[in-house]
Amino acid sequence: MESDIQGNSDIMDRVKAANDTVGRNVTNMKKSIDKLEKNENEVLDEVDELHEMIEEMKDRATDAQCRSMKYNLIFSGIPEKIWDQNQSLDDDEITLKNFIESKLKIVNAHDIAMANVHRIGQRDRRTGTRPRSIIAKFIYYKDLLRVKRSAKELKGSHFGINEQFPKKIEDKRKILYPVAKEARKNGKKTVLNRDQLYIDGVLYKGPDVQPMASQHTPTQQPRSKRRRVISNQHE
* Tally of domains within the chain: 2
Q: Select from 180, 86, 107, 99 the least CA-distant residue to 133.
A: 99
pTM, two decimals, is: 0.60
Helix axes 167-185, 2-68, angle to 10 degrees: 70
Q: What percent of the chain has pLDDT over 90?
A: 33
Q: Which of these three, 164, 182, 202, is where a domain ends?
A: 164
> Is the domain of 9 the same as that of 58?
yes
> Is the domain of 53 the same as that of 94?
no
E strand or H helix that includes residue 163: strand 160-163
> Is the domain of 98 the same as that of 51?
no
DSSP string, 126-147: TTS-SPPEEEEEESSHHHHHHH
Q: What is the pLDDT of residue 227?
A: 44
- Residue 160 sits in a domain whose CATH number is 3.30.70.1820
Give the domain range for residue 56: 1-68+167-235
Q: What is the pLDDT of residue 221?
A: 44
Tell whether the model's pLDDT for residue 101 goes beyond 90.
Answer: yes
> Is the domain of 90 the same as that of 119?
yes
> Is the domain of 79 the same as that of 152?
yes
Overall size of the chain counted in residues = 235
Q: Can you tell me the distance from the alpha carbon of 53 to that of 68, in angstroms, rounded to the nearest whole number?
A: 22
> Is the domain of 25 the same as that of 55?
yes
> Is the domain of 178 the same as that of 155?
no
> Is the domain of 119 the same as that of 180?
no
Query: How would you class 92 by CB atoms within 10 Å of its CB: exposed for 0-12, middle for 13-18, buried for 19 or more?
Result: buried
Asked if residues 188 and 138 have their Cβ atoms less than 8 Å apart, the reply is: no
Q: Select from 77, 179, 209 the least CA-distant residue to 130.
A: 77
Convert the pLDDT of each residue in 3-47 to its tens digit: 766 666 666 767 677 777 777 777 888 888 888 888 888 888 888
Convert the pLDDT of each residue in 154-203 to its tens digit: 999 999 999 999 888 888 888 898 999 899 999 999 988 888 889 999 99
Q: Which of these three, 108, 139, 164, is where a domain ends?
A: 164
